Amino acid sequence: MDSVCSALAYARLKQALGWKDVTPARAGNLNARIQYVLDRFGVEAPAFLSNVTPQVRDVMTREVVSIRADHSIAEALRSIEERRVRGLPVVDEGGHCLGLLSAIPLIQQLFPPAANLKNARIVRAALADIVQTFEGLTVTGHEADAEIQDYVLLVAAVKTETLPRRIREQPIKRLVVLVGDRDNIQSLCIDEGVRALIVTGAFPVSAEIQRKAAAAGVTLMRSRHDTATTVLLARGAVRAGRMVEREFSFFGPDVPLDAARAKAAASADSLFPVLDHDKKLLGVLTKSDFLKDVPRQLILVDHNELSQAVAGADKLPIIEVIDHHRLGGFSTDAPIHFWNNPVGSTCTIVTMLHQQHGIDIPPSTAGLLMAGVISDTLNLSSPTATATDRAVLERLSKIAGVDGTTLAADIFAVGSPLLTLRPEEVVTSDCKEYDEEGLRFSVAQIEELGFGLFREKHGEIAAALDTFCARERLFFSALLVTDINTQNSLLLVSGSEDYRQHIDYPPDGVGLWQLDGVVSRKKQLLPYLLQRLQETRASMPSKTSG
């Protein structure tokens, strides 16, 4: 209750102070009492985050530069040049990634290596693609212009008497001839039955040549560029889908950043598409993206030990801690705002922070803060309660217009954890994990109106605690069951038998002890458990080597 309510209230305070994108979050499930308080004061539950480990989605480039498979490589090269990238993802019409198009194969298409010069004049494309690459104009043409074929480019740069022989040496139905403003050469090519004729240099085409080409079924195109430039651009008409590299490395958006970094470091690739489960392109990741700062930071509320924090907290910058528990060996790379105050509730601290900044507390927020104070101090009856908690609760009561005693009765009357939760949930619902010099242990607590229900379910809960302790490989796990009415507790402990032998409270069954007058996990139980841990450690045989 204290964690959830203080997180909600502190996020609201930060927003009032002008902070943007501040989100209250929780790392565990809500119980019936917390849900009752949220519903009563009309506040939505904090977002659930089970893991904040940096992921690919945190640093990937979302404004993706890609190219359709049916677009030309000339368009791809323009995009590569404009965006200063080394390659592009190739996608279909639905945005699904088909592979990658890298700059080197594209350059080799335009400037073939010596071993491939014999194919330098061949362009596998459609005539419609070719004219588009040099932003030309189709003067005459027909439906076949959309068919993709291996067209052969020929520059009419020979004598008139030599040209027919040169033309006949080529596959005539796939021959594309480039010529300048020479009507006689243009006419000769049409007579020879070439597939297409490109008039370069922005020269006009006579009406006679146009009629002759149309009658012969020759596609006639005009280019505003000179012949050399037109040839170079025409070679870029090959569609991207033909040159796509279909074997490529990619990541899902939820892949941990460390895992992606290791895979990328071992790869020769420089570009990694980020795809969803349907292979739809969501973004791209380059090796330089791993140098970016993750655009998320953490504020820890009601805890300061990383063993109690959400998974992945050690991978993100922690910029603030607002807490009232013991210090747990916490360290940061840079100075942070750290307020640790030995009051009974973190909600008390958050209320004081509102006062410090001169920010009014809305009635609904005041109600949440009241619930946190009441829950964590058992309505001021816990030994952790201070005069500050009492003063804060009185002030919040006036703002919320709610009587504290009435609210406490309403909260504790809401469904028992033993009735509303399964045994495995009971032992983890309000569970804190600690690490004391390499020995990890956990302490959970539930509040009940009497012990009757616990005694009925003792066996099931003990078994669940055993399972949890073994699964998490803890030295021991403890569950404190507190009777709100009598202010007494029962302590259930699983794990190390050596440790359990040092517990000197009156036993109440196997692994169960009576703790009369003990209600505070923080102030009463934890110091006691730590003392017993020191005794256990001292009695354990030391390990020597020789």
Residues pairing with 442 in the sheet: 433, 477
pLDDT of residue 544: 41
pLDDT of residue 2: 96
Cα 473 to Cα 308, 461, 495, 496, distances in angstroms: 15, 18, 9, 11
Distance CA 35, CA 40 (A): 8
pLDDT of residue 219: 94
Helix (H, G, I), strand (E, B) or coil at 405: helix
Element housing 215 (H / E): helix 207-216
What's the DSSP call for residue 111? S
pLDDT of residue 545: 40
Cα 461 to Cα 32, 485, 515, 519, distances in angstroms: 19, 22, 18, 20
Yes or no: say if 276 and 12 are a contact pair by the CB < 8 Å rule: no
Q: Show the CA angle centred on residue 16, arms to residues 13 and 22, nearest 5°.
A: 70
Question: What's the pTM?
Answer: 0.67
**In tens digits, what is the pLDDT along the chain, a chain of 546 residues?**
999 999 999 999 999 999 989 999 999 888 889 999 999 999 999 999 989 999 999 999 888 888 888 888 888 888 877 777 777 899 998 999 998 888 777 777 777 766 666 777 888 888 988 998 898 999 998 767 888 889 999 999 889 999 999 999 999 999 999 999 999 999 999 999 999 999 999 999 999 999 999 999 999 999 999 999 999 889 888 888 888 888 888 999 999 999 999 999 888 888 899 999 999 999 999 888 888 888 889 999 999 988 888 989 988 999 999 999 988 777 888 899 999 999 999 999 999 999 999 999 999 999 999 999 999 999 999 999 999 999 999 999 999 999 999 999 999 888 888 988 899 999 998 899 999 888 999 999 999 989 999 999 999 999 999 999 999 999 999 999 999 889 999 999 999 999 999 999 999 999 999 999 999 998 899 999 999 999 998 887 764 443
pLDDT of residue 116: 66
Q: List, edge to edge, every strand of the sheet that includes 476-483.
A: 431-436, 439-448, 476-483, 488-495, 512-515
Distance CA 239, CA 109 (A): 11
Yes or no: say if 446 and 432 are a contact pair by the CB < 8 Å rule: no
Residue given tokens 């030391």 in the structure block: 542
pLDDT of residue 434: 92
Strands 137-140 and 271-275: unpaired
Residue given tokens 């605690």 in the structure block: 465
Distance CA 254, CA 257 (A): 9
Q: CATH assignment of 2-52+296-413?
A: 3.90.1640.10
In terms of C-beta density within 10 A (0-12 exposed, 13-18 middle, 19 or more buried), how is residue 545 classed? exposed
CB neighbour list of residue 308: distance below 8 Å, 6 or more residues apart: 328, 432, 433, 434
| Residue among 51, 100, 85 nearest 275 (CA) | 100
φ/ψ (deg, to 5) at 436: -115, 100
Strands 67-68 and 337-340: unpaired
Yes or no: say if 120 and 142 are a contact pair by the CB < 8 Å rule: no
Residue given tokens 């803890």 in the structure block: 474
Q: CATH assignment of 417-539?
A: 3.10.310.20
In terms of C-beta density within 10 A (0-12 exposed, 13-18 middle, 19 or more buried), how is residue 419 classed? exposed
pLDDT of residue 73: 80
Residues pairing with 137 in the sheet: 222
Domain ranges of the chain: 2-52+296-413, 417-539
Distance CA 274, CA 525 (A): 49
Question: Distance from first CA to last CA of the chain, Å, rounded?
Answer: 53
Q: What does the chain come to in residues? A: 546
| Residue among 264, 319, 331 nearest 294 (CA) | 319
CA atoms within 13 A on the CB side of 307: 18
Yes or no: say if 148 and 124 are a contact pair by the CB < 8 Å rule: yes
